[in-house]
């Protein structure tokens, strides 16, 4: 069995016992934020902050985002591309994983650009101070308003389809674009998040590309500078990325033959993370190395000058930087079948288990060295039988008021959160060197009703 940093840090039958990470591991291979430790009170500590204390101050559910882990992942990506690629490179954070002012600002301060997929994400990125020339707008059905905002802000647009191309021609403003293609590479990942195969709603089919290149070559305002592809998410294999490099360089050459000023190759994101000790993803460094080598080799073979590489990781930048703290409430024992331990959140703050059957790992933050002697289901509080955060969690016995912390919740949790059952969305705090700052305020009941309108005729007259 392969030994991974995640596994090394988990003791079967026990809760997490930390070992100081030296040398700094790749955050995506680590179940907890890099700063996680157990303090003298037997509490989980993240970013120098005692988790039960954070819960007292800020309530539950609470997203706890570790700045150091996020910054470390940003730096590892940048440094790896600088190390392995002799040409220019840019790492852009796929902000759909978690788009808010603070996260965008941290990514930008680490020299990353940003991938956005809507006017809302674009607006947030601009407000956070991300340089427009480092922002790439994605989306398979961008509105005219979203395209106009991107053009006015001077962002690059990743064009997905013919309608979008024609709309851009009608808008008649100079704009830099990449073309998204579906390279026909399958990945062993969950069906719903697989985007790179031919039967995908995203991007141009390779068969369509020649007429697209010819069309663009006639358009004075469309500055087509590159190609984009994304083959899926939570991927542990390196081979598909190597294959992608070869396919992309082929099409890059064909586009250049049409006279398009090709200079950028955006290979998407997709590197997986550890959600449980069973997960064994490659490191950020290894992922970048394979991509860089693949592109250099393909360029040499096909006699194409080295393009600027763009990588757009989301999950592997932020996934393991965050944990979610919940308070334990009611418990139900179904004799001989299962014990349900209910927490004060669930599918509204983490829709991944019910949407993708995603599996998570949890610890009890106020008794870290207790033996994990029970297998229980951690249930959410929503009116939905499927609202189970973890089906089979190994935990010590818990009481109402204990704090269950679910690990690796940084990616696609807050960003997919909802108000289902009219639950206010949780707060998020950024922790660093013992300091905790609210980066997302907890919603209250007033927030829930802020867009409700009650027509006069429905108001009971006295």
Ligand X SMILES: Cc1ncc(COP(=O)(O)O)c(C=O)c1O
CB of 230 to ligand X, least distance (A): 4
Angle 163-167-171 (CA atoms, 0-180°, nearest 5)? 175
**45, 110, 312, 344: residue in contact with ligand X (rule CB under 6 A):** 312
Q: Is 299 a catalytic residue?
A: no
Does position 196 interact with ligand X (CB under 6 A)? The reply is: no
The residue whose two tokens read 């993370």 is 273
Asked, as a colleague might, if the bond just before 167 is cis with ω within 30 of 0, I would say no
CB of 332 to ligand X, least distance (A): 35
**194, 230, 352, 361: residue in contact with ligand X (rule CB under 6 A):** 230
Which lies closer to ligand X via its Cβ, residue 55 or residue 147?
147
**196, 226, 268, 353: residue in contact with ligand X (rule CB under 6 A):** 268
Pick the stretch among 63-71, 245-253, 267-275, 443-451 that binds ligand X (CB under 6 A): 267-275
CB of 39 to ligand X, least distance (A): 32
- 3-state secondary structure (DSSP) of residue 339: strand
- 3-state secondary structure (DSSP) of residue 47: coil
Pick the stretch among 75-83, 268-276, 288-296, 331-339 that binds ligand X (CB under 6 A): 268-276
The residue whose two tokens read 């069906």 is 191
Does position 233 interact with ligand X (CB under 6 A)? The reply is: yes
**61, 314, 345, 380: residue in contact with ligand X (rule CB under 6 A):** 314
**60, 316, 398, 409: residue in contact with ligand X (rule CB under 6 A):** 316
Number of residues interacting with ligand X: please give it, by CB under 6 A. 17
Which lies closer to ligand X via its Cβ, residue 312 or residue 349?
312
**240, 269, 345, 410: residue in contact with ligand X (rule CB under 6 A):** 269
Does position 342 interact with ligand X (CB under 6 A)? The reply is: no
Does position 405 interact with ligand X (CB under 6 A)? The reply is: no
Alpha-carbon torsion angle 88, 90, 91, 94, nearest 10: -140
> Which residue from 205, 207, 182, 204 is spatially nearest to 194, judged by alpha carbons?
182
Catalytically annotated residue among 74, 155, 274, 383: 383
Does position 33 interact with ligand X (CB under 6 A)? The reply is: no
83-112 footprint of ligand X as x/- string (CB under 6 A):
-----------x--x---------------
CA distance 267 to 157: 15
CA distance 237 to 287: 9
The residue whose two tokens read 């006295």 is 462
CA distance 414 to 398: 26
Which lies closer to ligand X via its Cβ, residue 196 or residue 345?
196
CA distance 177 to 154: 11
Does position 409 interact with ligand X (CB under 6 A)? The reply is: no
Which lies closer to ligand X via its Cβ, residue 280 or residue 443?
280
CB of 133 to ligand X, least distance (A): 19
> Which residue from 389, 384, 161 is spatially nearest to 275, judged by alpha carbons?
389
Q: Beta strands 156-159 and 135-137: pairing type?
A: parallel
Does position 281 interact with ligand X (CB under 6 A)? The reply is: no
Which lies closer to ligand X via its Cβ, residue 266 or residue 387?
266
For 72, residues 6+ apart whose C-beta sits below 8 A from its C-beta are: 24, 27, 34
CA distance 176 to 134: 12
Phi, psi of 365, rounded to the nearest 5 degrees:
-70, -20
Does position 283 interact with ligand X (CB under 6 A)? The reply is: no
Is residue 130 within 8 A of residue 104, CB to CB? The reply is yes
Does position 76 interact with ligand X (CB under 6 A)? The reply is: no
CB of 132 to ligand X, least distance (A): 19
Which lies closer to ligand X via its Cβ, residue 71 or residue 315?
315
Provide the binding-site residues for ligand X, judged by CB under 6 A: 94, 97, 115, 138, 195, 230, 233, 268-271, 312-316, 411
Residues forming the active site: 383
């Amino acid at each position: 069995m392969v030994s991974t940093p995640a596994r090394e840090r988990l003791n079967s039958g026990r809760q997490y016992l930390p070992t100081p990470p030296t040398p700094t591991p790749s955050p995506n291979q680590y179940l907890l934020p890099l700063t996680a430790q157990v303090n003298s009170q037997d509490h989980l500590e993240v970013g120098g902050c005692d988790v039960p204390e954070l819960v007292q101050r800020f309530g539950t559910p609470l997203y706890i985002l570790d700045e150091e882990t996020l910054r470390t992942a940003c730096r590892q990506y940048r440094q790896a591309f600088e190390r392995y690629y002799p040409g220019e490179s840019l790492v852009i954070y796929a902000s759909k994983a978690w788009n808010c002012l603070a996260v965008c600002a941290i990514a930008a301060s680490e020299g990353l650009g940003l991938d956005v997929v809507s006017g809302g994400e674009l607006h947030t990125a601009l407000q956070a101070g991300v340089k427009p020339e480092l922002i790439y707008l994605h989306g398979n059905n961008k509105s005219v308003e979203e395209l106009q905002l991107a053009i006015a802000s001077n962002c690059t647009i990743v064009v997905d389809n013919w309608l979008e191309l024609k709309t851009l021609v009608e808008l008649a403003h100079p704009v830099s674009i990449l073309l998204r293609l579906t390279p026909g590479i399958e990945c062993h990942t969950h069906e719903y998040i697989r985007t790179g195969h031919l039967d995908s709603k995203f991007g141009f089919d390779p068969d369509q590309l020649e007429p697209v290149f010819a069309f663009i070559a006639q358009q004075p305002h469309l500055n087509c500078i590159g190609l984009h592809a994304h083959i899926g998410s939570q991927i542990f294999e390196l081979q598909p990325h190597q294959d992608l490099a070869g396919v992309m360089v082929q099409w890059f050459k064909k586009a250049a033959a049409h006279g398009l000023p090709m200079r950028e190759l955006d290979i998407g994101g997709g590197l997986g993370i550890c959600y449980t000790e069973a997960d064994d993803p490659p490191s950020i460094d290894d992922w970048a190395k394979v991509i860089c080598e693949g592109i250099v080799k393909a360029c040499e073979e096909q006699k194409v000058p080295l393009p600027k590489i763009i990588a757009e990781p989301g999950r592997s930048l932020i996934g393991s930087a965050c944990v979610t703290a919940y308070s334990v409430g009611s418990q139900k024992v179904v004799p001989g079948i299962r014990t349900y331990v209910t927490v004060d959140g669930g599918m509204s703050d983490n829709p991944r288990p019910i949407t993708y059957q995603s599996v998570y790992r949890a610890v009890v933050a106020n008794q870290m060295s207790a033996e994990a002697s029970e297998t229980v289901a951690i249930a959410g509080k929503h009116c939905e039988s499927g609202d189970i955060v973890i089906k089979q969690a190994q935990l010590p016995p818990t009481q109402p008021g204990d704090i269950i912390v679910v690990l690796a919740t940084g990616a696609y949790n807050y960003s997919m959160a909802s108000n289902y059952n009219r639950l206010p969305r949780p707060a998020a705090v950024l922790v660093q060197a013992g300091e905790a700052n609210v980066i997302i305020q907890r919603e209250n009941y007033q927030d829930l009703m802020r867009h409700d309108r009650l027509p006069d005729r429905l108001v009971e007259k006295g």
